[in-house]
Amino acid sequence: MTADPTTRNTAVGRPVVETAHGPVRGVDDGTVQAWKAIRYAAAPVGDLRWRAPQPPQPWSEPADAGRVGPVCPQPTDPRIPIDLGAPQGEDFLSLNVWAPSGTRAGDAKPVMVWVHGGAYILGAASQPLYHGAALAAGGDVVVVTVNYRLGALGFLELVTLGADPERFATNVGLRDVVAALQWVRDNIAGFGGDPDRVTLFGESAGGGVVTALLGSPAAAGLFHAAIAQSSPATSSYDTGRARRVATRFLDVLGIGSGELDRLAALPIATIVAASRTVFDEVPVNTPGTLAFAPIVDGDFLPDYPVALARQGRTHPVPLIIGTNKNEAALFRYMKSPLMPVTPESVRAMFAEIAAEQPTVRLPSASDLDGTYRGRKKVRGMGVSSDLGFRMPSIWFADGHRAVAPVYLYRFDFATPVLRLMRLHAAHATELPYVWGNLVAGRKDPTFALGGRKAGQAVSERLRTRWVNFAAHGTPTGGAGDPEWHPYDAERRPTLVIDKEDSVVDDLDAEVRRAWGDDVLSFR
């Protein structure tokens, strides 16, 4: 059902939009209009906890959409001090919309739909980092941020243990994002957006959602361009690995595979605690892997995303894809086992891959020595960054460019503080620049030693390219910015985003020679 695309103001600064499920009343501060915590699906409680997303109950009176709503229940980690922007709660399948003030129904502005990261277990659409005012108003676009099920709620595959697939659907977190995209298709015109110009973009696990949905038949036609920032594109697993995780999850709860009916009634805190236990165990036991991630179920996700791209089976939409220069530095700083960075953990990761995939060609010691020069720990971080993020992005780009234009980038910019902390352009450091939210609060140290002026310029250039891509399908820059050509087999041009941007041909030649063209699917 498509909503009647009308917007009406019942009071100054409180725009009301009719949606397919009922009217919502937002706020207008003179720069942007915002509607927050709009339900796109029913609360996943009780029998709906692991079902595919269901429509919310319709309403007739304008729902207050002036503030963010609950976020997906999740564990807290002192090493990752995320400001979720809202309390946790079970009625969290909602989204937030920003549009420039003055936008009206039928304006048909480009739409950018954001999927947050967090290793498929953390994060929220309401994080202050993802406040959409600067991106929407500065780029004259409509911005949507989406909550989806995380951890065991979104990626626990109980079907692998014989569960009823209706009550325990596969890839529930991905299905939530598809439901949100369907909501955008049916309703965004009323907020001034163009349902035929939707760009799906995300970072880290959110980037993994993007590359997965590029190969999912269920997402066909729901977005028309895509941006995958630091996508762990090869961190999708088979049903055997998913079965082992599900078995362990039930062991932690003390529930047998024949007692799955008990799960719907368990307190959410119990589910979250078990999620945390399994999430922490898996990368210790199998380095370089996640407990909760998309799986190849043969239906919603018919094959591994990189394999689908290399088979020419991804949706033919333009794609920006890339990574940060020093991805693994964040995981070293946090002392997180999610990415192995020590020589011992890297060797363990290679042994695990070799045991599971004996036909895959792994780099030899001489390959690694030639490519990752320097101290052993630095080499370990380089190997992890390239295995976890850089090479999967290149493999995906090499496949997807056969069906649509692909633009490859690397984010290199780092402030003096980040360089002093040895983080440099670590994982997720590009996010403030994408969103134009460069300072997260009075205690944000990012620019304590300078670099603010350069950072603002980086943000302006990056947002210009992202917005132009959403509007026209090509990531053109401003006057004087280098021309960014599509990725091809001859030149392999890569945009390097730094204090001054540049386009470098075959930036990754040495790394590609070390890793070759074999795709590590993590089967």
Which CATH number covers residue 434?
3.40.50.1820
Can you tell me the distance from the alpha carbon of 202 to that of 116, in angstroms, rounded to the nearest whole number? Answer: 6
- Please report whether residue 2 resides in a domain: no
Task: Tell me whether residue 163 is in a domain.
Answer: yes
Q: What is the pLDDT of residue 379?
A: 67
Query: Is the residue at 297 inside a domain?
Result: yes
Task: Burial-class residue 479 by CB neighbours within 10 Å (0-12, 13-18, 19+).
Answer: exposed
Per-residue model confidence as pLDDT tens digits over 199-253: 999 999 999 999 999 999 999 999 999 999 999 999 999 999 999 999 999 999 9
Residue 37 confidence (pLDDT) above 80: yes
Quick check: 376 pLDDT over 80? no
Cα 472 to Cα 9: distance, rounded to the nearest angstrom: 31
pLDDT value at position 442? 73
Give pLDDT, residue 349.
74
Q: What was the pLDDT predicted at 334?
A: 85
What's the whole-number mean pLDDT along residues 132-137? 98
Q: How many residues does the chain have?
A: 523
Between 441 and 361, name the one with better pLDDT: 441
Instruction: Using the predicted structure, report yes or no on whether residue 365 has a pLDDT greater than 60.
Output: yes
Higher-confidence residue of 184 and 9: namely 184
Question: What is the distance of C-alpha 222 from the center of its chain?
Answer: 17
What is the C-alpha separation between 82 and 80, in angstroms, rounded? 6
> Which residues make beta-bridge pairs with 265?
none
Confidence at residue 252, expressed as pLDDT on a 0 to 100 scale: 98
Alpha-carbon gap, residue 295 to 305, rounded angstroms: 10
Take residue 235 and report the two structure tokens written for it: 């961190």
Q: Give the pLDDT of residue 6.
A: 43
Q: Which residues are catalytic?
A: 204, 327, 427
Q: Which residue has the higher pLDDT, 340 or 93?
A: 93
Q: Are 242 and 282 in contact (CB under 8 A)?
A: no
Cα gap 143→137, rounded to integer Å: 10
Please indicate, yes or no, if residue 1 is contained in any of the structural domains.
no
In a domain, 522, yes or no: no
Q: CA 435 → CA 79, 92, 127, 319, 462, distances in Å?
A: 23, 23, 12, 19, 9
Q: What is the pLDDT of residue 146?
A: 98
* Residue, of 306 and 13, whose pLDDT is higher: 306
Q: Per the structure block, which two tokens stand in for 237?
A: 């697993």
- Do the Cβ atoms of 212 and 305 come closer than 8 Å? yes
pLDDT mean over 99-120 = 97
Domain count, the chain: 1
Q: Are strands 63-64 and 109-115 parallel, antiparallel or unpaired?
A: unpaired
Which residue from 158, 186, 192, 187 is spatially nearest to 172, judged by alpha carbons?
158
> By residue range, what is the domain housing residue 152?
7-515
Answer yes or no: is 118 within a domain.
yes
Beta strands in 79-178 (DSSP E): 94-100, 109-115, 142-146
Residues facing 199 on adjacent strands: 112, 225
Q: Is residue 523 part of a domain?
A: no
Distance spanning both ends of the chain, measured CA to CA = 39
Three-state SS for 427? coil
Question: Does residue 260 belong to any structural domain of this protein?
Answer: yes
